[in-house]
């Protein structure tokens, strides 16, 4: 698995492909917390975000 900062660099460079494990690692590094999983849907929260992030 790539380091979160390398994943961010990849996204900012304009990549159109990203593995979900890389996405999760990036969210974790940014302070998001996995709150709930239901089927294939995952809900993440962040202390400074008004609404949860659904992925």
Q: What pLDDT does 1 receive?
A: 58
Local mean pLDDT, 10-residue blocks, the chain (55 residues): 84 91 93 94 96 94
Instruction: Supply the pLDDT for residue 2.
Output: 66
Q: State residue 43's pLDDT score.
A: 97
Query: Global pTM?
Result: 0.80
CATH number listed for the domain at residues 4-54 = 3.30.920
Contacts of 50 (CB under 8 A, 6+ apart): none
- The domains of the chain are located at 4-54
Find out whether 12 and 4 touch, Cβ atoms under 8 Å. Answer: no
């Amino acid at each position: 698995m790539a380091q979160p900062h390398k994943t961010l660099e990849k996204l900012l460079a304009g990549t159109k492909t990203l593995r979900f494990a890389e996405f999760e690692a990036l969210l974790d590094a940014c302070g998001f917390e996995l709150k709930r999983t239901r089927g294939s849907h995952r809900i993440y929260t962040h202390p400074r975000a008004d609404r949860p992030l659904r992925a």
